[in-house]
Chain A
Amino acid sequence: MSFNRKDLLGLEHLDKKEIQTIIDAAKPFKNMFTRSIKKAPALIGKTVVTLFCEPSTRTRTSFEIAAKRLSADVVSIAPKTSSFVKGESLVDTAKTLEAMKADIIIIRHTCAGAPELLAKNLNASIVNAGDGFHEHPTQGLLDLYTMYDKKKKIEGLKVLLVGDILHSRVARSNIWALTKFGAKVRVVGPPTLIPKRISELGVEVYYDLDEAIKDVDVVNILRIQMERQQGGFFPSIHEYNELYQVTEKRLAKAKPDVLIMHPGPMNRGIEIDSEVADSPASVINEQVTNGIAVRMAVLHLLALARNKQGRKHTC
């Protein structure tokens, strides 16, 4: 076991062993979900705060369920009802939460680097639940866990990320994790939605989906983020559908046992065909279940690392 970090800010700076530790720790938590009482006292007496400065249902709910299944006390802060509207800075808000003895603060923010800012200024553990276009580490981890669970290995897997790579923190966290484990990662999308220097991260860039999908083991479909499409990145939704929608016909070119993944929320009929979303190859709902297990593992490992650190300071 090797996990000695105060915070989980991204997957870029974690090494393979640390990521493996989290993935391995998630499995026993997943097995817990079949019990009548899906709860363990591991985080009893700890306070976990979710501070989401961007709309989210599934990630916040997933973190809250994860923390509650570990018996932590959970508090949710929504910016609209908090002191942000009164002009308080993010660090001050977080410091107030820390003064209330929050042990772990889970933050989502539109600005890349916001979690890091808090991590530097606070003793509480910070978990990045998505920051700007930067990273969404727990999504990357649950995607990796799901692929590992289904394919039993990551090395050599051909994984295709489809769609809006430019605005996607999920894509970045996926790329960091997958390349560390030796997967062959491809990205495909309209040229306007592929960052210029993305190939430097060790991925193959495609612009033609029919070409990119050939022989892949996993297709991870990214959401077309309607709220970020004011920049005219593609001419019309119809054109996007024609060129980049993942359909049954296109999937026939992938490996026969291909996995269909999507971080949600899905836009059926835009980036993913409804039939594909509901096909036996789709593990989209399983990703959601795995997400809770992975987040439980993250919270548990951070809490253990905190205890260890606490001991060092008092000795």
Chain B
Amino acid sequence: MEILNSKQIASAIEKLANEIIKQNIDDIVVVGIQTKGVAVAKRLSRKIESIKKMEEQIPFGILDITLYRDDLQEAGADIPTIKDTNIPCDINNKNIILVDDVLYTGRTIRSALDVLKDFGRPKSIKLVVLVDRGYRELPIQPDFVGLVHHTKDRVCVDINDDTCDSDKVVIENK
């Protein structure tokens, strides 16, 4: 079942960008969580830059949480691939906009906060997600949400970029 089409994704990202701009946060660093969060974060950065007519790009980082997961001991079909983490600037005293595609149990975000802590002490971290599917297991809540859609089924996000042609969010029934 499709919950967001290409047009709706674009307007959700525009809404998120405007909400972030409204808060007047300075010294922003946008950080996307591997892999789909990176694509959402890129789109969001471009949107903020174009709305604010910025000449320079917002500092952008990517972050992989594999080594920080708390479930490596438990069932999981395959060995997770460790992907790159690349935070290109000093994050001390910066305001981090942490971006993921889907928020579910909150465990990915907990791990991501652990990774960021190893890079320094940001002034603040705000969480942005495209879809909040509910059913949290940890006390973690987003600051900016594109769409709230509570479901226990898998939510698949395709964001159009150089690695992906399609642009949609669908729910895969178990």
A276 within 8 Å of B (CB atoms): no
- Chain B residues near A40 (CB-CB < 8 A): 67-68, 118
Question: Which secondary structure characterizes the binding site on chain A?
Answer: helix
Give the number of residue pairs across the A-B interface with Cβ within 8 Å. Answer: 53
Size of interface on A: residues with Cβ below 8 Å to B: 26
Which residues of B74-93 are within 8 A (CB) of A?
A: 74-75, 78-87
Contact present for A28 and B85 (CB under 8 Å): yes
B79 partner, pick from A29, A36, A301, beta carbons under 8 A: A301
- Among B66, B74, B79, chain A packs the most CB atoms within 10 A around the CB of B79
Interface size bucket, B side?
A: 20 to 34
Contact A39 B79 (CB under 8 A): no
- Which of B73, B75, B82 has a CB less than 8 Å from the CB of A25? B82
Interface pair B118/A42, CB less than 8 Å apart? no
Q: Report the Cα distance A307→B80, complex, angstroms.
A: 12
Among B73, B84, B120, contact of A28 (Cβ-Cβ < 8 Å): B84
Contact A31 B79 (CB under 8 A): no
Which secondary structure dominates where chain B touches chain A?
A: loop
Residue of A nearest to B118 (CB): A37
Q: Are B119 and A35 in contact (CB under 8 A)?
A: yes
**Shortest CB distance B171–A (Å):** 27
- Across the interface, name the chain A residue whose C-beta is closest to B82: A28
With contacts A1-B79, A28-B82, A307-B73 taken as known, whether A36 is within 8 angstroms of B119 at the C-beta atoms is yes
Q: Mark B79-119, 1 if CB is under 8 A from A, else 0.
A: 11111111100000000000000000000000000100011
In the complex, are the beta carbons of A311 and B75 less than 8 A apart? yes
* A134: interface (CB < 8 Å): no
Residues of B within 8 A of A31 (CB): 84-86
A3 to B80, CA, bound (A): 11
Measured CA separation A27–B82 after assembly (Å): 9
Q: Cβ of A24: which chain B residues have Cβ within 8 Å of it?
A: 81
B64 within 8 A of A: yes
Interface string of A19-60 (1 = CB under 8 A from B): 000001101110110011101111000000000000000000
Please provide the 5 A-B residue pairs with the shortest distance between their CB atoms, ordered closest to farther.
Answer: A40-B67, A37-B118, A42-B67, A1-B79, A28-B82
